[in-house]
Structure 1
């Protein structure tokens, strides 16, 4: 099999398919990425991935190329793992990489094969892909198209590929279904559910799943606002509500809101497609979800400005956190960095520390200040703001931090700190959703 596109999704999928016994060729147009992957390591951080890449590149079971002709001749099954970012001018997916990958591959598909999309896309993309393949593939080529969206969490992508909650595939033929069953048999034999649907349902499953997760996050953040004005504790509320098995505790952590390269743009694109199709109730619900999420970043900035007397100009603000979540160096649409940029724009002197994402943050926003350890970053700070819930921050000694800051004021925007320890050290601690 081949995997077209060797980013966060494609490189992980390629290595995982080699891990379960397949012969895999990864394809990308970026020579630098391919050179790095050929050396047996990823060009980004993902736990367990480098070890798996090194093992299967060394064995010869996994190799990487920029040659689509080689891929077309080799593959019986071609997974599309290219990026589908948000559009610059509207809330929709930019599918240009999907069309480019299919256009580059299709002319070389002389043998019977199956193209399987894994990228997150709008409903109707499978049909459009099939039409493009039929237009570009050699006459008489027997090429089928299915869709099999990923459900990966950054920081857990290897485990989510090898031991997922479910595998969902949209197919239109029995032959495609059989090929998928064979490809995933080592995983499904371990008890992972394999669900076959029509392509439209499959495409909507991914969007609906992300929309529901986004809704849970925005719901608990709305409850945090209510708890603050009512004098209640959102953490205790979440624990109690989450014990109901119909609701569940996951994704009920109040804080700075969701970010990253998937959930924000997926929710907006899903909403845009619903609007195009006239599904007004879905549009209304998800528009509010997105609005609540956007408001969280503003609230953190507002809270910081308030403790600074209403003006951030010249204030020294230290932010602990840059990654959009724990366990990754990814800063795409990071709420943490967005808060930093907003404060910087209001005249604050910003210093950022993150245990993993300093270099990616520095590359994205060199105008901010960066320091390589939490204690040094806090030196001289008028306010300390915790914006990514790294476990390290819970274990830091607040007395040691108190020795270097200008003021003992901390805003815990993601409920990451050990509250009693910071209170005992005489910090003025401000938390999300705590009245």
Structure 2
């Protein structure tokens, strides 16, 4: 099938490459000429495992191309909208400028029988607003939310855990759902759950999932706050309650909290939309979820300050990580960089290392010191702070090896990723998040 993908950022570029890899002819369209030129050369403009290989194969096969010309969408059977929906500058609501621009630009090239599939994360009700313009061309609008995890985005696109398609109740909607079944034929053949809903439900599925995950993370971080004043150990607490099958252990890792381009802005946009609908009280708890998350960054900074007796002035502090999560170079709303900037502002000499995100971080915060090599970054440090759970920090760095490199023997485990007993036994002063 011939497909177009409008918007070639994290979502769109991965989606386009993945769809080409399963046999479709795909054109990716974006207004950013530099991004399009890189993608056209088969070069991934950001770090995502396995994406580079898919891009190279797709471009070389001729099944995948990229352009800035929206007219190239003409003739495609399905048009995916994958543009960003950032937080508005003057509030919590989602900015739909790029969604509306994508639809307006696409309208002249739609034909009767085409399917427009929204993938962007939008406030519930957006599809209802867009549908009249799209359906006036004879095309059908469906909402097909993405559930990608950065670092696993290629796998999650090709082999998702579920597919959700929101359609209008008429015959055109159900015919469009059948076309999406063809698009995702490898996953459908594996009996991946294919859930057909109305469009409003499909929009809510995405934001509800993100709200639940954010709530679970902030819940265990709230328990960490209680643990810190009672002497309890939040990691043991999480293990104990995680054995309950109704709760589960995943996303119960206390630390400096979540970041990135999705969870923070999505829960804020959900709160704003609920207020617009007159149901703000229904998700009022999300404001506290957000507040708890931000407080954990404060706590990490406080632990570093306390470790030095009240001042970090002229102390050498090495932060392990810059990206908001491992296996990504995404620094949007990164807790790691937030902690780094605050320590720098307090007079510390901050060195940051990261396997993938240094270039992005340096471009945004050139005032910090960046060292690509982990061991070199640790040399002469007075304290180490684990802020991103890359394997080469969490699993591969031993306290004995670290001791051969640093001046001080202080570690702040911002992700509770290390064995506290092992670090203490090696002579380190260990501070965890919600751990005695």
Identify the TM-score tier after normalising by the shorter chain.
over 0.9
Deviation at 1:200, TM superposition (A): 0.9
Residue matched to 1:11: 13
Residue matched to 1:106: 107
Please give the secondary structure, in 1, of the residue aligned with 2:127. Answer: helix
Residue matched to 1:76: 77
| Bigger shift: residues 245-254 or 420-429 | 420-429
Deviation at 1:111, TM superposition (A): 4.3
Q: Does 1:211 align with 2:211?
A: yes
Q: Deviations over 1:246-288 (max 9, x none)?
A: 1111101010100001111011111111122122433321111
| 2-structure distance, mates of 1:341, 1:96 | 30
Contact 1:41 1:49 in 2 (8 A): no
Deviation at 1:417, TM superposition (A): 2.0
| 2-structure distance, mates of 1:96, 1:280 | 24
Please give the secondary structure, in 2, of the residue aligned with 1:340. Answer: helix
Q: Does 1:56 align with 2:52?
A: no
Residue matched to 2:44: 42
Q: Deviations over 1:173-225 (max 9, x none)?
A: 22222222222232111121011111111111110000000000001111112
Q: Structure 2: any 5+ residue segments left out of the alignment?
A: none
Q: Deviations over 1:69-128 (max 9, x none)?
A: 121x22111000111111111101111111111111111224431111000000111112
Deviation at 1:361, TM superposition (A): 1.1
Deviation at 1:379, TM superposition (A): 2.4
Please give the secondary structure, in 1, of the residue aligned with 2:129. Answer: helix
Deviation at 1:404, TM superposition (A): 3.4
Contact 1:328 1:357 in 2 (8 A): yes
Q: Size of the alignment, in residue pairs? A: 429
Output aligned runs, 1:318-329, within 5 Å: 318-329=318-329
Contact 1:391 1:416 in 2 (8 A): no
| 2-structure distance, mates of 1:345, 1:234 | 30
Q: Normalization by structure 1: what TM-score?
A: 0.95
Contact 1:215 1:289 in 2 (8 A): yes
Deviation at 1:421, TM superposition (A): 3.0
Give the aligned CA root-mean-square deviation in angstroms.
Answer: 1.5
| 2-structure distance, mates of 1:62, 1:319 | 39
| 2-structure distance, mates of 1:373, 1:346 | 25
| 2-structure distance, mates of 1:184, 1:381 | 50
Contact 1:390 1:416 in 2 (8 A): no
Residue matched to 2:141: 145
| 1-structure distance, mates of 2:21, 2:405 | 49
Q: Does 1:184 align with 2:184?
A: yes
Deviation at 1:300, TM superposition (A): 0.5
Q: Does 1:127 align with 2:123?
A: no
Residue matched to 1:137: none
Q: Normalization by structure 2: what TM-score?
A: 0.95
Please give the secondary structure, in 2, of the residue aligned with 1:395. Answer: coil
Q: Does 1:162 align with 2:158?
A: yes
| 2-structure distance, mates of 1:379, 1:277 | 55
Please give the secondary structure, in 2, of the residue aligned with 1:74. Answer: coil
